Structures are given as C-alpha cells and as structure tokens.
C-alpha cells in the first residue's frame, strides 16, 4: 500500500506511506469490507490511526495498578453465606484537579467471585476478580470522553455496526455515567499469573458461543428472585510474538527509541517487495505454536497438564448479560491480538505521544488483487508503472 499521488499530479513520484506496527495490526484485524469504504478518505483514516495507540494504551493501562485486596481471594468463597456484607455505598473521589474518580464496586467483584468459584482458565482456586475491559477506561469524565472518541474512530471499522453501537452504549453512554464497565457482566475470575499474562497480550480468549451441553447451567438466588445462568464456551489461544523479528530490517526501518519495535515504520518504497512482506506476515500469523512462545506457561488444575492453544474454557454467564459479556470478550480479543502483533505492551507509557503530522497524510489506493490471492500461489510480477 503506497501513497498514490496520481490523482493530484500524474507525474509525481510515489512516496512512502508511514505505517508502524500498531497500524499494521489495525489493518490486519479490521473488518475488510468496512476498511475498504474508508481507504480513499485520508482525513477519516487519519482520525482512526490517531486513536489507535491511545486505545491500546487504555487496554494496557490496568497493568500499572495492583488489584485491590477485596478483588483477591486466597480460598474458594462459599457460594451462599449466611453472613451478609454491609450495603455497598458508591464512592466518588476527586483527583488533584477536582475531577471525579469513580471507585471500584466491591459488590460486583464479590458476585463474580461467588459465581466463578475458581480461575475460569486454569481452574486454580486462588483467584482475583478481573475486568474484561479495564475499569480505568471510563472511571473519570475525561477518560470517558476519550473512550467515546476512540470507540467512534476505531471500533466502527473493526466490528459490525450493531455491535459497535451496543459497545458505545455500554462503555461510553450518552448519559455520562462513570464506571459503566465496573459491572458483573464485565468481570471474570483469574489466577494472578493468568491475569498478568492476559493483560500483556501473551494469551487471549475467543468467544465461541453457548454450550449445547449446559455444563454450568444453574439458577442462583439473588435478593428478589432466582437468576438463570448459562454456559458459554471460549477458546484459549497463545498469541504470537511481536512481528518485528519476522519482518526484520528488510521490511522495517530502524528501531525507534521512543516506541521500540511498535514505532518501527514499514518499508513501502518503490524498492519494497510487497509480496515477500505479505508472505512473511501470513506465515507469522499462521505458524503460531500451540504452546507459549513467551517463556511462560499455564497449567490446568484438574490434570496439571500445560495449557495449549485451542483449549475450550467454560464460563458461567447470567442469561440477561449474555450479549454484553459477548461484546466485552470480543472487544478484548480484538485488542489483545493487536497488542501481541505490535509489541505495544512493552511501550505502554509512550504509545500516544508525538502523533503523526496531518501534512504527511497520503491518499490511499487499493493493493493489486494478487496480494489478496492465496499466498502459496505464484503471483504475477508487479509492473513498475502501476500506482501501488
């Protein structure tokens, strides 16, 4: 994909399009049909790419905070205890500038601990309540406003419009309510190690759907009535390493100190071999090992065997929350894959600094059709006179 200036000046030279690895991840995992509709709108695409790194930083922001003590459970809690917790009173703090900061809801975390009873991935009884989408994403007015912009610019190009609108209503409602992600449907329980490596983009959970077997289906007592819970199937994946090593210096410019490998620009000049780059990307994504390539491992608590990609995870979800939980898990799955490919977890503190200059914006043209063909087939040679 190159800057094709032929529309403005047919005699002009083709200049390189400046895309880093975070941008590459966006194009790899975005919805192809929806991306095609904006490829020729440089201004809108610029807005999308400007929101990408702040979005990844938001996803990784929870790495900084140690989970509060009330989110940790050293033993399996009793599902029905006669001892009642005192009524929860929502608390709102303020920062140094006087902005409101919503605190975590302890009752919601306790509900998740009682529902799951163990780590949903490994079965370990030592667990903590973990937000699927970070609580810090919308617990302050400024963050809520930023999140609304990021969801508008990005998620509409990565998920179906209906799902995007639902996510907007859940995470960034027009009412301006804070901490709407701090709810029962956005929390599941993980052991501390699983929580850490999931946040770093080493692994991820893919939504499959309702289980036909109903292994965890049940009804649990609530304050006024019984609540129905359904069994949902997720697929565990070890995610690939950052793609920088695969592309190497042949397809990437020099490493940048500011953003590490994530900030390295792809080589899209006239001398670049686009087919070789596409082949390298394809092989990197398809040759992922079933075991972790990050030097860590997880063990299943029932048989002490290592956890491998493809393992089916069962979680219990309240029937009325099925759609909300699906959206949160699908959004997290999308974000973690971008984090893994781009290596963004290693530069979380500096992802959104120094945005690109609008004057550098190119106009975009579609890649030659053979790029999208089967990569194993022999492509037709690219004519030097073509626009891309």
Write out pLDDT tens, residues 355-368: 444 444 444 444 44
Residue 368 vs residue 254, higher pLDDT: 254
Q: What is the 3-state secondary structure (H, E, C) of 240-266?
A: CCCCHHHHHHHHECCCECCCEHHHCEE
User: From the CA atom positions of the chain, what is the Rg in Å?
Assistant: 23
- Helical residues (DSSP H) of the chain, grouped into ranges: 21-29, 32-38, 42-60, 106-116, 141-154, 161-171, 192-199, 244-251, 274-286, 322-342
Q: What is the structure's pLDDT at 367?
A: 44
Confidence (pLDDT) at 126: 94
31 in a domain, yes or no? yes
Give the per-residue SS3 of 72-88.
EECCCCCCCCCCCCCCC
pTM: 0.77
Pick from 85-89, 108-112, 379-383 the range whose average pLDDT is largest: 108-112
pLDDT digits (tens, 9 = 90+) for 103-135: 888 899 999 999 999 999 999 999 999 999 998
Residue 61 located in a structural domain: yes
214: left (phi over 0), alpha (psi -120 to 50) or beta: left
- From the CB of residue 235, how many other CB atoms can be counted at a distance below 10 Å? 15
Cα 385 from Cα 388, distance rounded (Å): 9
**What total number of domains does the chain contain?**
1
Whether 75 is in a domain gets the answer yes
Q: Is residue 251 part of a domain?
A: no
Using the 8-state DSSP alphabet, how is residue 6 labeled? G
CA distance readout (Å), 53 to 23, 149, 305, 345, 375: 9, 13, 37, 11, 29
**pLDDT level of residue 88 (50, 70, 90 thresholds):** very low
Kindly indicate the confidence band of residue 343, based on its pLDDT and cuts at 50, 70 and 90.
confident
Is 264 part of a structural domain of the chain?
Answer: no
Between CA 110 and CA 116, with CA 111 as vertex, the angle to 5 degrees is: 100
Give a yes or no: residue 153 inside a domain: yes
Nearest to 132, CA basis, from 158, 85, 170, 94: 170
Weakest-pLDDT range from 12-16, 28-32, 332-336, 337-341: 12-16
Q: Is 10 part of any domain?
A: no
What is the domain range of residue 170?
A: 21-79+91-208+325-358
> Which tokens in the block code for residue 302?
């029932």
In a domain, 138, yes or no: yes
Q: Is the separation of the CB atoms in 265 and 241 below 8 Å?
A: no
pLDDT > 90? residue 185: yes
Residues 6+ apart with CB under 8 A from 174: none
| Per-residue pLDDT band at 349 (split at 50, 70, 90) | low
Strand, coil or helix: what is 189?
strand
């Amino acid at each position: 994909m190159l800057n094709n200036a032929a529309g403005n000046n047919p005699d002009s030279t083709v200049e390189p399009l400046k895309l880093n690895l975070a941008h590459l991840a966006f194009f790899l995992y975005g919805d192809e049909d929806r991306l095609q509709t904006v490829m020729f709108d440089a201004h809108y695409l610029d807005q999308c790419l400007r929101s990408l790194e702040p979005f990844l930083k938001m996803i990784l922001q929870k790495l900084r905070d140690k989970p509060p003590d009330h989110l940790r459970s050293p033993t399996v809690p009793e599902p029905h205890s006669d001892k009642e917790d005192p009524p929860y009173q929502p608390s709102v703090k303020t920062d140094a500038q006087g902005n409101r900061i919503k605190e975590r809801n302890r009752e919601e975390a306790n509900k998740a601990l009682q529902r799951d009873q163990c780590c949903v991935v490994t079965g370990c009884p030592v667990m903590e309540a973990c937000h699927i989408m970070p609580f810090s994403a919308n617990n302050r007015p400024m963050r809520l406003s930023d999140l609304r912009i990021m969801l508008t610019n990005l998620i509409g190009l990565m998920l179906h419009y209906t799902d995007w609108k639902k996510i907007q209503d859940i995470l960034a409602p027009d009412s301006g309510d804070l901490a709407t992600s701090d709810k029962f449907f956005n929390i599941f329980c993980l052991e501390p190690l699983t929580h850490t490596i999931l946040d770093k983009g080493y692994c991820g959970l893919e939504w499959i759907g309702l289980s036909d077997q109903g292994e965890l289906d049940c009804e649990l007592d609530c304050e006024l009535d019984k609540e129905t819970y359904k069994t949902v199937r997720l697929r565990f994946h070890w995610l690939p390493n950052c793609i920088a090593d695969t592309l190497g210096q042949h397809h990437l410019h020099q490493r940048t100190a500011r953003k590490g490998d994530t900030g390295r620009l792809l080589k899209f000049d006239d001398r670049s071999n686009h087919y070789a780059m596409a082949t390298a990307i394809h092989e990197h994504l398809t040759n992922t090992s079933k075991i972790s390539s990050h030097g860590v491992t997880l063990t299943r608590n029932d048989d002490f065997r290592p956890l491998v990609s493809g393992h089916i995870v069962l979680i219990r979800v309240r029937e009325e929350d099925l759609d909300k939980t699906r959206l949160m898990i699908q959004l997290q799955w999308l974000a973690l894959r971008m984090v893994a490919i781009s290596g963004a977890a290693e530069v979380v503190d500096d992802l959104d600094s120094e945005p690109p200059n609008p004057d550098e914006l190119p106009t975009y043209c579609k890649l030659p059709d053979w790029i999208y063909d089967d990569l194993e087939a022999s492509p037709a040679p690219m004519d030097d006179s073509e626009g891309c």
